[in-house]
């Protein structure tokens, strides 16, 4: 089956008990057994739930993974993946990642003896230079959050494999529709399903996919032992969202390109970052590695933080909010929102400046989105003029 068909049908046969076309919400914590040790495959919903299993099967299919596991959030999924490591292990990580990933690694897991090297992964050679004898994992995020840098998954995965390290790719920004990390050599793919997969800003969740049974066994053990699992209704909402992922991503990409083109020519904009622009440093890689350029656009506004705050406060269709990937458009200020947990000097060194704004371009009419940004620019300019 092709992508759009799998999104609607994989793991989702008609309910055998009733014939219901849509997978039911199995809103139960426990399951009645026919006798001691005699059950129908489910004992307790932390360990397994039919609605969650349907979602795991569907998302694994979309990533062409043999196995899939769902979690209560993307960070819960990331934490479970890190349970593959032991104290003293070293991780090579892209230096431009989601602020929550940085917080988990540096402020939580580092206390338990995991070492990290934060590097610019746009140059695969830097990954090779950062590898140590105790390097056990290479963590890739591509496109990165919020600077939309791209990492050559095939090249970095080959380097990791040669050193015996696990390659993990956070595929949240691209979605499985635009990018297939496992096919490019990665060992594990991860998503915050809160974003494009769910797609409607109404549910939080996470997912990991892999075709390595050993990694699956360890992560699944911790999924159950730690218990960071999604509820049945959350799984059902995410599965409903995934059904329309293909058609939504096409519109996200089309709208984001239109918005990026508008921003490039705007007098108040200092810099625009979007993989679909020929000016993007990894534009050619984006064309090779992805089937579309995504729905995220970042730009630096002239006038620094004051101008950025003014514009973020003046949009009407672009809601000022954290998160991304929903049908509605969002605008955010990474330095004070999604990446506030990163120390200021590190943020600025990575390019997350006070004048940087991040757009999650939704699937509204592109003309309306451009008009909204234009009126926000105009309102911000008017506000900056002394009375």
Q: Which of 274, 264, 323 is nearest to 298 (CA)?
A: 274
- Indicate which residue of 26, 67, 98, 215 is catalytic: 98
Record the tokens describing residue 362, joined without a space.
């939704």
Edge-first strand order for the sheet with 188-192 is 67-71, 206-210, 188-192, 166-170, 135-141, 90-94, 115-119
Q: What is the DSSP letter of 110?
A: G
Whole-prediction pTM value? 0.95
Write down the pLDDT at residue 386.
Answer: 53
Write down the pLDDT at residue 387.
Answer: 46
As a three-state string, the secondary structure of 308-343 is HHHHHHHCCCCEECCCCCCCCCEEECCCCCCCCCCC
Write down the pLDDT at residue 287.
Answer: 98
H helices of 114-165, in order, are 124-130, 153-162
- Indicate which residue of 46, 103, 161, 250 is catalytic: 46
111 assigned to active site: no
pLDDT tens, residue by residue, 137-171: 999 999 999 999 999 999 999 999 999 999 999 99
pLDDT tens, residue by residue, 330-356: 999 998 887 877 788 888 878 888 999
Q: What is the mean pLDDT of the chain?
A: 95
pLDDT at 255 over 60: yes
pLDDT at 201 over 90: yes
- Indicate which residue of 195, 309, 347, 358 is catalytic: 195
Write down the pLDDT at residue 351.
Answer: 82
pLDDT at 85 over 90: yes
358 assigned to active site: no
pLDDT at 130 over 50: yes
112 assigned to active site: no
Is it true that the peptide bond before 335 is cis, omega within 30 degrees of 0?
no
Helix (H, G, I), strand (E, B) or coil at 153: helix
Among 97-101, 107-111, 218-222, the least confident range:
97-101
- Indicate which residue of 79, 95, 96, 170 is catalytic: 170
381 assigned to active site: no
Q: What is the CB neighbour count within 10 angstroms for residue 134?
A: 12
Question: Is the pLDDT higher at 14 or at 341?
Answer: 14
pLDDT band at 40 (very low <50, low <70, confident <90, very high): confident
Structural domains for the chain: 3-242 (3.40.640.10), 246-384 (3.90.1150.10)
């Amino acid at each position: 089956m092709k992508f759009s068909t799998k999104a609607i049908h994989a793991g989702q046969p008609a309910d055998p008990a009733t014939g219901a076309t849509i997978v039911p919400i199995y809103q139960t914590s426990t399951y009645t057994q026919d006798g001691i040790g005699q059950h129908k495959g489910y004992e307790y919903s932390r360990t397994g739930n039919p609605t969650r299993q349907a979602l795991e099967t569907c998302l694994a299919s979309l990533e062409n993974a043999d196995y899939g596991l769902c979690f209560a959030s993307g960070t819960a999924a990331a934490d479970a993946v890190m349970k593959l490591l032991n104290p003293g292990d070293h991780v090579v990580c892209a230096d431009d990642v989601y602020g929550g990933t940085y917080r988990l690694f540096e402020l939580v897991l580092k206390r338990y003896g995991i070492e990290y090297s934060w590097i610019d992964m746009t140059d695969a050679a830097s990954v090779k230079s950062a590898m140590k004898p105790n390097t056990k994992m290479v963590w890739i995020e591509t496109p990165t959050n919020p600077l939309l840098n791209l990492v050559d998954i095939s090249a970095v995965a080959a380097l990791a494999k040669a050193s015996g390290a696990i390659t993990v790719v956070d595929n949240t920004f691209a979605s499985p529709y635009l990018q297939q990390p496992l096919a490019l050599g990665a060992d594990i793919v991860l998503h915050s399903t809160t974003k494009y997969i769910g797609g409607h800003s109404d549910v939080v969740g996470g997912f990991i996919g892999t075709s390595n049974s050993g990694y699956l066994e360890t992560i699944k053990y911790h999924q159950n032992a730690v218990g960071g699992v999604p509820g049945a209704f959350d799984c059902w909402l995410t599965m409903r969202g995934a059904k329309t992922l293909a058609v939504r991503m096409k519109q996200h990409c089309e709208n984001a390109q239109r918005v990026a083109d508008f921003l490039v020519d705007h007098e108040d904009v200092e810099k625009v970052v979007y993989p679909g622009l020929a000016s993007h440093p990894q534009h050619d890689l984006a064309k090779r590695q992805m089937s579309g350029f995504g729905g995220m656009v970042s730009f630096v506004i002239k006038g620094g933080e004051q101008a950025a705050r003014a514009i973020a406060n003046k949009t009407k269709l672009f809601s000022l909010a954290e998160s991304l990937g929903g049908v509605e458009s969002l605008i955010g200020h990474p330095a004070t929102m999604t990446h506030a947990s990163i120390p200021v000097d590190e943020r600025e060194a990575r390019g997350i400046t006070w004048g940087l704004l991040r757009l999650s371009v939704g699937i509204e009419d592109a003309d309306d989105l451009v008009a909204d940004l234009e009126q926000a620019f105009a309102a911000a300019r008017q506000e900056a003029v002394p009375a």
